[in-house]
Structure 1
Amino acid sequence: MLQRITIDDLTPGMYVNRVLDETGKVKVRSKGVVRSDAVINQLRSKGVEFVEIDTDKGNAPTAEPSSSNAAEPASEIPPDNNVNHEVSSEPLTIDSLKAAEQLFQKAMAIQQNFLNQLKSGKGADVNKLSTLTQDILECVFENQAAMICLSMVQRGNDSLLEHSLNCSIHMAILADAAGFDQQSVEYASLAGLLMDTGMVKLPPELCVPEEQLSGTDLMMYQTHVDESLAAIEHSDDLPEVVKDIVSQHHERIDGSGYPKGLSGIDIEPLAQLAAVVDEFSRLGMPAPFGNAMPTSKILKALANNKGLEQTLVNRLIGVLGIYPIGSLVKLKSGKLGIVSRRNPSNLLQPQVMTFYS
């Protein structure tokens, strides 16, 4: 049933059919389910006052609209019955790739400016990253296949820049697929941009894979967590859960992590998620004078890592697939191809576009 509601009564889970009244000029790019508060805030910022929803395709308004959509920090990893098993399996399209690439270029420029400000000792504006997070979430939920594809591309110009953006994208996708509420998905995506920014304070010779360091060099490397926290300590509007993710994303559930050696339930669940994504992204970066590890081997390494929450590792495998969209594969015929679409029923047999024999 179609129903007219105010923008203030719009909540995640509702299906927007069209915009009815607005004070500004806005164009809804596609109909669909509202996946996050970020999308609602963006509509509101563009002057949208009323929308038409379809209650047959999404949630209906409650009798008493909630006064706030803000969620408390997650207290546990959502159980399986909260998991979004219907992860996106849409194919790649040229239009979706173009839209995603435009966002990538914009995001990299904003993140680069943020890192430059930190490196120079100037106060960095976290609010700009919060706004960027909303754009990332919108594109992730509208063009998930394209965003995954581009996040798998190694551009080779700045590993920290790519790592931060990829973590933001993958944390949003995994948090949503794992069943976290929409506010937590936003927090996770923002934390992905922030959690390793302290690396800019390290000497260049320490910006290498952690396994190559020992002794005082390793201790100094690990201070990047404190540097990342210092960059956001004066951001009073930043939710505490985001700061917890930043401070704990190198902790491990078996107690082997740092800086405090936390374990199990003492680690914020979204930080446990961040640990999985951070490790996935880190292992996917090209080694010095070498190639990046194949995705299938990365996922196997994550599955064998006792410091990571395996429920989240399994959900990452489920949402990306053994061969993520954008992966280069060699077929039994000898032809090369690019994975263009997931196959939810068989992760080992995705749809592939061949281009060379």
Structure 2
Amino acid sequence: MLKKINVDQLTVGMHLKEFCGSWMEHPFWRTGFVITDPKDIAAVLGSSIKEVWIDTSKGLDTSGSTPSVTEAESEAQVEQQLQQLAATDQRELAPVSIGAELERAAKICFQSKQAVISMFQEARMGKAVDIGGAQQLVEDISDSVARNPGALISLARLKTVDDYTYMHSVAVCAMMVGLSKQLGLDEAQTRSAGMAGLMHDLGKALMPMEVLNKPGKLSPAEFNVIKTHPSEGHRLLSSGDKVDALVLDVCLHHHEKTDGSGYPKGLKADEISLFAKMGAVCDVYDAITSNRPYKSGWDPAESLRKMAEWANGHFDGKVFQAFVKSLGIYPIGSLVKLTSGRLGVVVEQTGKSLTTPSVKVFFSTKSNLRIPPEVIDLSLPGVTEKIVSREDPAKWRFTDLNELWSGFNKTHW
């Protein structure tokens, strides 16, 4: 029997079915669990959540005379609430500039990282994986990508070495959503693809930390251990309830290659599903553009060029082409040289051409000096500037490229 109660009525032993509020308002990544620790109650009381649903058939009831409701009645109430929310929906899914979306995307990144950390910790403790609580997280990531594809995807790339495993899942989730939209997949497929991206590396929760974070090349034996993470993740997800087959597929097969040289099963071409092919592209891009214990991340534009070289045999051609279109040939954060000799960092895609993004110029190669930053939309009529080359940030030793395009002095998570 479901019952809505005030949070001050919570006690140890109750089955917490659902929070009455956004997942960003409370410290738990999932619901549907029996409260066993008083600290969990304290955490709820410390949040802005005022009411929760409990399931008295799976845990303790309240000691007072608060009337319970049937499941049908509770569903009717929830449906009414959802309709009211829909009538006053403030999600603002209309396209916005990257500047307008960055702060919101940063908050989503922070909350998402905490959720993924919790999922990994529970997996390490041997608990069954419940991905139901991650549905709203994927929803918010998808909404951010709908408002501005570049904001969250680019911010998620700015992860620290220590956060890589967790933020990598968030980044791949966002890219899977963006790629799904580019491929014209429907809303349900897009959300499932996002969930698959979020869960694809869950098996790394069971990998030895000394191997996972080794600051150097793995030995053959260590690599064989790491190669078990897709199967381990698939096993973990399979132990949960109602996990989408698409999510399981991407978790198990995101390291397969079209030429059959991937793992764990050495699948080839059409033996690999569309969604696993999508996962492979998104996984590799975030891996090579991120700082790792053993190397610094590559420039985004250079990373796409490298992936294009590997595409024949590694990636599906159509999926890779759609991926490039979703990010742009010069993704946000790329260092480029213009015809004037000025250097700039790509700050946003214009949507008019893959080769005409908005660029923030800040350096003159003619005078070899910094110049006042200026944003140039290369797609506008009358703009004669063009990108003539990609540039290697390491060569120029610029340390503030990420600050230039994001406006952040440091990452927010």
Q: Which has the higher contact order (CA 8 A, sep 6+)?
A: 1
Q: Counterparts of 2:195 and 2:294 in 1: how far apart (Å)?
A: 31
Q: Decide whether aligned partners of structure 1 residues 230 and 211 sit closer, same or farther in structure 2, where only a CA change above 3 A counts.
A: farther
In structure 1, the partner of 2:142 is 137
Shift of 1:330: 5.5
1:92-151 Cα distance to aligned partner (Å, 9 max, x none)? 22x311111111111111111111111222333311122211111112112323223312
Further displaced range: 290-299 or 211-220: 211-220
Of the three residues 277, 301, 316, the one matched with 1:309 is 316
Indicate conservation of the 8 Å contact 2:249/2:276, yes or no: yes
Shift of 1:174: 0.5
- For the residue of structure 1 that corresponds to 2:98, the secondary structure is coil
Q: If you compute each CA radius of gyration, which structure gives the higher value, 1 or 2?
A: 2
Gaps (5+ residues) in structure 2? 1-19, 23-77, 88-93, 364-369, 371-413
In structure 1, the partner of 2:254 is 249
1:23-57 Cα distance to aligned partner (Å, 9 max, x none)? x999xxxxxxxxxxxxxxxx9685216979xxxxx
TM-score with structure 2 setting the length? 0.62
Of the three residues 349, 352, 355, the one matched with 2:356 is 349
1:106 equivalent to 2:111? Answer: yes
Q: Decide whether aligned partners of structure 1 residues 209 and 128 sit closer, same or farther in structure 2, where only a CA change above 3 A counts.
A: same
1:47 equivalent to 2:82? Answer: yes
- Superposition map of 1:260-339 within 5 A: 260-288=265-293, 290-305=295-310, 306-329=313-336, 337-339=344-346
1:146 equivalent to 2:151? Answer: yes
Which amino acid is the alignment partner of residue 213 of structure 1?
L
Indicate conservation of the 8 Å contact 1:25/1:47, yes or no: no
Which amino acid is the alignment partner of residue 194 of structure 1?
M
Q: Counterparts of 1:210 and 1:310 in 2: how far apart (Å)?
A: 33
1:92 equivalent to 2:127? Answer: no
Shift of 1:287: 3.9
1:184 equivalent to 2:196? Answer: no
Q: Decide whether aligned partners of structure 1 residues 353 and 226 sit closer, same or farther in structure 2, where only a CA change above 3 A counts.
A: same
Shift of 1:179: 1.7
1:291-327 Cα distance to aligned partner (Å, 9 max, x none)? 2111122112221222210111111111111221244
- Superposition map of 1:156-171 within 5 A: 156-171=161-176
Of the three residues 193, 197, 201, the one matched with 2:206 is 201
Which amino acid is the alignment partner of residue 281 of structure 1?
D
Shift of 1:220: 1.2
Further displaced range: 200-209 or 271-280: 200-209
- For the residue of structure 1 that corresponds to 2:314, the secondary structure is coil
Shift of 1:165: 0.5
Q: Counterparts of 1:211 and 1:260 in 2: how far apart (Å)?
A: 26
In structure 1, the partner of 2:179 is 174
Indicate conservation of the 8 Å contact 1:171/1:277, yes or no: yes
1:212 equivalent to 2:217? Answer: yes
Indicate conservation of the 8 Å contact 1:89/1:342, yes or no: no
Q: Decide whether aligned partners of structure 1 residues 117 and 274 sit closer, same or farther in structure 2, where only a CA change above 3 A counts.
A: same
TM-score with structure 1 setting the length? 0.71
Which amino acid is the alignment partner of residue 258 of structure 2?
I
Q: Counterparts of 2:154 and 2:223 in 1: how far apart (Å)?
A: 33
Q: Counterparts of 1:141 and 1:284 in 2: how far apart (Å)?
A: 23
Shift of 1:90: 5.6
Q: Decide whether aligned partners of structure 1 residues 50 and 107 sit closer, same or farther in structure 2, where only a CA change above 3 A counts.
A: closer
Structure 1 ranges of 4+ moved more than 4 A: 43-46, 49-52, 208-211, 328-336
1:172-221 Cα distance to aligned partner (Å, 9 max, x none)? 10011012222111111001111111112111232269993353322211
Q: Counterparts of 2:287 and 2:188 in 1: how far apart (Å)?
A: 26
Q: Counterparts of 1:25 and 1:129 in 2: how far apart (Å)?
A: 14
Identity of aligned residues (%): 27
Q: Decide whether aligned partners of structure 1 residues 209 and 350 sit closer, same or farther in structure 2, where only a CA change above 3 A counts.
A: farther
- For the residue of structure 2 that corresponds to 1:212, the secondary structure is coil
Q: Counterparts of 1:45 and 1:219 in 2: how far apart (Å)?
A: 52
- For the residue of structure 1 that corresponds to 2:114, the secondary structure is helix
Shift of 1:329: 4.5
- For the residue of structure 2 that corresponds to 1:352, the secondary structure is strand
